[in-house]
Amino acid sequence: MATSLDYQGLSYQQLLWSLIAKACSAGLKAEFYGVLRYPEGEFPLLKLSSMEHERLVVVSANIHGDEVAGALTFEHLGDIFSYADARKVSLIAYPCTNPTGFDRRIRYNIRNEMGNNDFLRYILPDGSAVDDIGEGRDFVEWKWSSDASLGQKLPLETQLLHEELKRLPFGCIKGAADLHQDCFLDFCATHYGSYAYVLDKKEELAPIARQAEGIVPLLRNTQITSGYGTVVDENGQVIANSSIGPWTDGHGFVKRHDGSLQDLFHRLGVPYTVTVETTGNVPLEKSVAVNLAWVRGIIDLAARA
């Protein structure tokens, strides 16, 4: 599957207008849920939707700016939306939630602010607030990380996505897929394939992982250190990473309640959620194919939910 987008030199503005043109020709609604205003320029945040049906799936991508396979998956947005429509599922897509990171091919935003995937906090029995409870330790309650009582400063991209998500009809959302890429060099040098963050309903989601296995190897029983203890330099490039991290299970799944966008959807009662990962050494078209397999699989499950 070739992508007509020349991703190497592709700017966010080019991506944005290409996707808007495709959305218009496919009869989809294209709108901006916010605009990032930096001295370096303005970056509208794109939302695509088709809301004909009661059941809804949300697909998001490129929260980490260097993980371009997510945004490029929407090169196929006509196919994605018609697949959902044929199964009587509405779809909302956020193709690139970190435009300045996309432009620079860096993990965080133009200010190198971490916290772009910061969506909730767990209040522990001792009153402290943490964003990561591993596979699920006891907590008293959870809050959006933008809750005023926490006094948390979030990157502008994340603030605007919080505001947008709070407007969604959560009772209708039956599935959510957040598309990532594992671009950590140490990991990619020794691994090639895909894995996924899955919080529950493993048995129902496992067939999707096996389908993706027809595209690239599934990283079963593999330690994932990427994204833990990450340090970036002044240019936004990742220079250090933890040597410890969780292991995938026999399905290639990691269970991690880490306050991410997926974790938020899970806590809000969305039955089927996934964060899809392909290693950075997987050819782009194969990463896109894995992403499409997961998006279709989540739509199929949502249609039956």
Q: Which residues bind Zn ion (CB under 5 A)?
A: 64, 67, 180
| CA dist., res. 56 & res. 89, Å (int) | 6
Q: Which is nearer to Zn ion, 89 or 261 (CB)?
A: 261
Hey, what's the torsion of the CAs at 165, 168, 171, 175, to 10 degrees? -60
Q: Is 39 helix (H, G, I), strand (E, B) or coil?
A: coil
DSSP per position, 259-274? S-HHHHHHHTT-SEEE
Q: Which is nearer to Zn ion, 78 or 246 (CB)?
A: 246
Closest CB 138 distance from Zn ion, rounded Å: 28
C-beta neighbour count of 229 within 10 angstroms: 11
C-beta neighbour count of 137 within 10 angstroms: 12
Q: Which is nearer to Zn ion, 22 or 256 (CB)?
A: 256
φ, ψ at 192 (rounded to 5°): -145, 120
Q: Which is nearer to Zn ion, 68 or 84 (CB)?
A: 68
Closest CB 216 distance from Zn ion, rounded Å: 17
Closest CB 107 distance from Zn ion, rounded Å: 7
Closest CB 82 distance from Zn ion, rounded Å: 27
Q: Which is nearer to Zn ion, 7 or 83 (CB)?
A: 7
Closest CB 47 distance from Zn ion, rounded Å: 20
Q: Which is nearer to Zn ion, 258 or 300 (CB)?
A: 258
Under 8 Å CB-to-CB from 18, ≥6 apart: which residues? 5
Position with the least CB separation from Zn ion: 180
Q: Which is nearer to Zn ion, 67 or 213 (CB)?
A: 67
Closest CB 64 distance from Zn ion, rounded Å: 4
Hey, what's the torsion of the CAs at 182, 188, 191, 196, to 10 degrees? 0
Closest CB 182 distance from Zn ion, rounded Å: 7
Closest CB 181 distance from Zn ion, rounded Å: 6
DSSP per position, 160-220? HHHHHHTTS-GGGEEEEEEE--B--HHHHHH--SEEEE--S-HHHHHHHHHHHTTTS-B--
| CA dist., res. 92 & res. 229, Å (int) | 32
| CA dist., res. 86 & res. 303, Å (int) | 10
Q: Quick one: three-class SS letters along 95-146? A: CCCCHHHHHHCCCCCCCCCCCCCCCEEEECCCCCEECCCCCCCCCCEEEECC
Q: Which is nearer to Zn ion, 75 or 182 (CB)?
A: 182
